[in-house]
């Protein structure tokens, strides 16, 4: 794995299966400056095989309360093909992430990170994001972040029954001890609609049709990521344009509803993955 060491909008990493692949990507990053100053330095990491999951948790600097796990889809095209993106869709919960794995992640990863930061005099309060790979040897950390994941949050938060503001305020005040999160016994799927060419160059200003029709569907929420309003219409204004999200009593029905909503929306050049949550459906 070769990764630009700076900010690259979630796209500065390449899975390199051969030395030629690694050399080619290094040339793009460090010589051709594909990601600008972000490629001044690179990180080379071990390739890990398994199920990738995102685990978010609330923390007040001492206590850690994990949310349900989600699974993002980073590659641009079906079958995990094509370049990495900021995320083409997500679903939650993840069948492969059972209670035993969750206990290991909390005790061996999340709790230890929060405790170590406090011991160093930099206690963290907020949302801790852990990107993990569930390998045959157990969960391994791919990345940490200090925010809600996108599009993971769009698939997780619609399932949260506990008042989000109350939990966030408890984290800020250092009062998470004894708090609990209640969840809908459902599944949620988010499908990202992207501009033509994304994650490469793309056009903006394309008129978006069908938003009103899709948003009236029961169980569907549409999150705007890269849009702008002009007059009475919405136009595209970014690479990832919309996050079409649907809840269902199980994963299969959430997937079906999300794609029915997607079918009502259109804009010139629109593209999206048609296999969001496929791993979850196969692993039920």
Each residue's pLDDT tens digit, 169-179:
999 999 999 89
Instruction: Answer yes or no: pTM beyond 0.75.
Output: yes
23 part of a folded domain = yes
**CA–CA distance from 128 to each of 22, 131, 160 (Å)?**
31, 10, 17
Residue 112 lies in a domain: yes
Percent of the chain with pLDDT over 90: 87
Residue 284 in this model has a pLDDT that exceeds 70:
no
Identify whether residues 35 and 113 lie together within a single domain.
no
Residue 210 lies in a domain: no
Task: Tell me whether residue 94 is in a domain.
Answer: yes
- Domain span including residue 64: 51-173
Among 189, 193, 192, 211, which Cα is nearest to 258's? 189
Q: How far apart, in whole angstroms, are the C-alpha atoms of residue 8 and residue 82?
A: 17
Q: What is the DSSP letter of 182?
A: -
Burial class (CB in 10 A: 0-12, 13-18, 19+), 209: middle
21 and 77 belong to one structural domain: no
Domain count, the chain: 2
> Are 125 and 55 within one domain?
yes
Please give the Cα distance from 217 to 256 (Å, whole number). 12
Which residues are CB-contacts of 271 (< 8 A; sequence separation ≥ 6)?
Answer: 193, 194, 195, 196, 198
Same domain, 39 and 56: no
112 with 153, same domain?
yes
Q: What does pLDDT average to over the chain? A: 94
pLDDT band for position 13 (cuts 50, 70, 90)? confident
The answer to whether residue 128 sits within a structural domain is: yes
Same domain, 111 and 141: yes
Confidence of residue 10 (pLDDT cuts 50, 70, 90): low
CB atoms within 10 A of CB 135: 12
Are 59 and 165 members of one domain?
Answer: yes
Query: pLDDT for 111-163, tens place per residue?
Result: 999 999 999 999 999 999 999 999 999 999 988 999 999 999 999 999 999 99
pLDDT in tens, 221-275: 999 999 999 998 999 999 999 999 999 999 999 999 999 999 999 999 999 999 9
181 vs 259: CA distance, rounded Å: 29
Q: Are 20 and 60 in the same domain?
A: no
CA 149 to chain centroid, in Å, comes to 5
Q: Based on the domain organization, do 83 and 126 belong to the same domain?
A: yes
């Amino acid at each position: 794995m070769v990764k630009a060491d700076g900010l690259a909008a979630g796209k500065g990493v390449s899975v390199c299966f051969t030395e030629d692949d690694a050399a080619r990507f290094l040339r793009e990053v460090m010589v051709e400056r594909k990601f600008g100053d972000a490629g001044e330095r690179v990180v080379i990491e071990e390739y890990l095989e398994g199920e990738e999951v995102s685990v978010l948790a609330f923390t007040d600097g001492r206590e850690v309360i994990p949310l349900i796990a989600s699974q993002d889809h980073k590659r641009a095209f079906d079958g995990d093909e094509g370049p990495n993106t900021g995320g083409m869709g997500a679903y939650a919960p993840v069948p492969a992430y059972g209670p035993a794995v969750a206990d290991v992640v909390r005790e061996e990863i999340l709790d230890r990170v929060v405790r170590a930061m406090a011991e160093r005099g930099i206690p963290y309060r907020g949302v801790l994001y852990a990107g993990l790979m569930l390998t045959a040897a157990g969960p391994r950390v791919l990345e940490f972040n200090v925010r809600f994941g996108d599009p993971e949050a769009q698939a997780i938060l619609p399932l949260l029954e506990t008042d989000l503001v109350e939990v966030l305020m408890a984290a800020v005040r250092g009062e998470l001890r004894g708090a609990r999160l209640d969840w809908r016994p459902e599944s949620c799927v988010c499908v990202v609609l992207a501009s033509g060419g994304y994650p490469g160059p793309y056009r903006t200003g394309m008129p978006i049709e069908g938003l009103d029709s899709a948003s009236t569907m029961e169980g569907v929420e549409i999150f705007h990521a890269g849009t702008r309003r002009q007059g009475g219409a919405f136009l595209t204004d970014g690479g990832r344009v919309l996050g079409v999200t649907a809840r269902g009593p199980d994963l299969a029905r959430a997937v079906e509803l999300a794609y029915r909503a997607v079918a009502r929306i259109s804009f010139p050049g629109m593209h999206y993955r048609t296999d969001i949550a496929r791993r979850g459906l196969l692993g039920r």
